């Protein structure tokens, strides 16, 4: 995005909560209830993954990640 903020999108077609600046208690609750990696971590993983030039290595990483996700 142009302003450097990471757009948060749903992974399961459910609307994502927007963190409001005015209510820090509500923001903390929402942050604790979000399942999955924080957006910054997901972005790091995507950036690292896209820099891997060997398609076979990317395929192996996808298989490994899917195995970890099934634990």
Tell me the pLDDT band of 33, cut-offs 50, 70 and 90.
Answer: low
pLDDT, tens digit (0-9, with 9 covering 90-100), for 9-26 = 656 555 555 544 555 666
Q: What does pTM read for this prediction?
A: 0.46
Quick one: which of 31, 1, 4 has its CA closest to 16?
A: 31
pLDDT for the residue numbered 18: 53
For 34, list phi and psi in degrees, rounded to 5. Answer: -75, 125
Tell which wins on pLDDT, 13 or 47: 47
Tell which wins on pLDDT, 35 or 30: 35
For residue 4, the 8-state DSSP code is S
Locate 54 and state its tokens. 């060997």
């Amino acid at each position: 995005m142009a302003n450097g903020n990471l757009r948060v999108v749903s992974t399961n077609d459910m609307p994502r909560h927007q963190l409001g600046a005015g209510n820090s208690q509500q923001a903390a609750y929402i942050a604790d209830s979000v399942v999955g990696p924080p957006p910054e971590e997901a972005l790091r993983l995507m950036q690292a993954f896209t820099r891997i030039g060997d398609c076979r290595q990317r395929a192996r990483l996808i298989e490994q990640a899917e195995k970890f996700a099934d634990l």
